[in-house]
Structure 1
Amino acid sequence: MPLKSGEPAPDFSLPATGGETISLTSLKGHKAVLYFYPKDDTSGCTLEAKSFNDLREAFAAADTAVIGVSPDPIRSHDKFREKYGLAFPLASDEEKAMLEAYGVWVEKSMYGRKYMGVERTTVLIDRDGRVAQVWPRVKVPGHAEAVLAAAKAL
């Protein structure tokens, strides 16, 4: 079921790059962007990560943490982060519990074949842990800029 603005963000605690653990509780008091993406080091996911990374100082100035989330393992995240010099954490949800709670683990179809995967989605969470805005079925070009504008306005 898709998230709606104003409702409490589903709680989570996930391992992340750099040996961190990221949870909804650890983000409280700050705004946070959770961007859900299908796979490390693929063209669209790389472009999206680089777009958010290019705006990292502007997000920091807006008191907004950026966290990428995918089902890839931490080892893959670490390589991806290092390869592109990403300055924000990538969280791993190999169990897909958080992905399901946020409604982004969905049935997809490619060339007539159905499979389960991550629907590229971004969620902006306010300082109180509530969903401020949701961008479903994200198209990467210009997306990070739109999220930044919403974070600044929050």
Structure 2
Amino acid sequence: MPRLAVGDLAPDFTLATADGGTLALSSLRGRRVVVFFFPAAMTPGCTTEACDFRDSYASLEAAGYTVVGISPDPVDRLAQFAEAEALTYPLASDPDRSVLEAWGAYGEKKLYGKTVEGVIRSTVVVGPDGRVEVAQYNVRATGHVAKLRRDLGLD
């Protein structure tokens, strides 16, 4: 599965969101967008990562970044997750994994020493022009947001 690299044009998408609306990447043109892909709502690692983004959201937004989380979970599960964890940014549902695949965030990965097919925990930062500024794959749930903030020069 090809992964996005710095300078690539980020593939556009329009996905249903946990709040009952839809979100198109093209609607965010002109802003920097942090798109993070996570395997499953309400699991320990994904909760840690989502809450880290929640806790950093105000400072990311103040620095000009919009945060969007994407998983293959259905919209109702994402809505429960957003409510349970007081998540303040959009969560988008990609049940057919077409966006995950287009962004290189779905494919073979190692899980407990076995090769499996699934969501690859990833974060991509898209610039105002729609081009990839940062592409990080196989990130760890714990500590990832702090590292991303350092990489973006926000700490």
Task: Say what the alpha-carbon RMSD is for the aligned residues.
Answer: 1.7
Structure 2 counterparts to residues 1-150 of structure 1, below 5 A? 1-110=2-111, 114-150=115-151
**In structure 2, what is the Cα distance between the partners aligned to 1:135 and 1:12?**
19
Q: Contact conserved, 1:39 with 1:45, CA < 8 A, in 2?
A: yes
CA apart distance, 1:59: 0.9
Gaps of 5+ in 2: none
Greater shift after overlay, 136-145 or 76-85?
Answer: 136-145
Note the alpha carbon deviations across 1:52-105, whole angstroms, 9 max, x for none: 000111011011111110000000000000001000110000011101100111
**In structure 1, what is the Cα distance between the partners aligned to 2:105 and 2:95?**
14
CA apart distance, 1:113: 5.8
Identity %: 39
Q: Secondary structure at the match of 1:18?
A: coil
Q: Are residues 152 and 65 of structure 1, via their aligned partners in 2, closer, same or farther at CA, if it must alter by over 3 Å? A: farther
Gaps of 5+ in 1: none
CA apart distance, 1:143: 1.4
TM-score by length of 2: 0.91
Q: Contact conserved, 2:45 with 2:142, CA < 8 A, in 1?
A: no
CA apart distance, 1:27: 1.0
TM-score by length of 1: 0.92
Q: Contact conserved, 1:62 with 1:151, CA < 8 A, in 2?
A: no
Q: Secondary structure at the match of 1:88?
A: coil
Greater shift after overlay, 138-147 or 64-73?
Answer: 138-147
Greater shift after overlay, 109-118 or 45-54?
Answer: 109-118
CA apart distance, 1:135: 1.0
CA apart distance, 1:22: 1.1
Q: Contact conserved, 2:38 with 2:46, CA < 8 A, in 1?
A: yes
Q: Secondary structure at the match of 2:19?
A: helix
